[in-house]
Amino acid sequence: MRSATMAWVLCLVVSGQITRLQADELDSLSPGTRLRVTAPAEAPRRIVGTLTAVDAHSLTIHTSSQFFVVPREAIQTLEVSERRSLKKRGALYGAGAGVIAALIAAAVDEQKPFCLFGEPCSADPYFSRQEVAVLAAILFVPVGTTLGAVIAPGERWVAVKPPTRGAARTQSCSGIQVGINLRF
C-alpha cells in the first residue's frame, strides 16, 4: 500500500502536469445556463444572458441582441440564475383576480337607481349587471395586474465565486485524477 502511494505521488511529481484552474464553479457551468456577469473591461453594464460556450480562457454569453466573449480574468462577479422571474405569472394572476372581483361586484349589485350626475335622472337610472361588470373590470383588472406584478418575486440569482488563483488540478496519471482546491 505504501509503495503504491509513493509510486502514484512520484508519477504526479515527475509528470509536472499540474495546471491552474480559474474556478471549480466555472468549470461546472454548462451551456444553456442563464448568467449575470460583471466585467467592466468587456461591457460597461452587467451582461445578462445564456451561456453558449465555455473554454479554458473565456465564457461566451448570448444576450437578447448580441454575443459576448468574456475572458475569465475580466470577470469581477458571476451569478447563476436559480429561478426565472415570476413577474409575468404574477401579473396574470392579478389580472385574473381583477376579473373575478369585477364579476363578484356585478353579482352583488342590488340594481338600485344610480345617477352619475345627481337627481333627477333623465335617462335610464340603472346600470345592468353587464355594465357593472365592465365598469368594475375597467377598475379592478389594471389594479390587480399591477399588484400581481409588484408582489411576485423577480429572478433569483446565486453568486458563483470569481476565478481564484489558489486552485490547482492535476492531469490524470494512468486514469486517476486528483485535485487540490485552496480557499481562503
End-to-end CA distance of the chain: 33
What pLDDT is recorded for position 106? 84
Q: Which residues of the chain have pLDDT under 50?
A: 7-23, 164-172
Q: Which three cell numbers stand for residue 94?
A: 392579478
What are the tens digits of pLDDT across the range 17-32?
Answer: 333 333 455 667 788 8
3-state secondary structure of 129: helix
Ordered by where they begin, the domains of the chain are: 2-84+155-181 (2.30.30), 87-151 (no CATH)
With beta carbons less than 8 A apart as the criterion, state whether 38 and 75 touch.
yes
Map grid coordinates 468587456 to a residue: 42
- pTM, whole model, 2 decimals? 0.54
Give the pLDDT confidence score for residue 59 in this predicted structure.
87
Note the pLDDT tens digit of each residue in 150-182.
999 988 888 887 654 444 444 445 556 666 766
Q: Which residues pair with 67 in a beta bridge?
A: 62
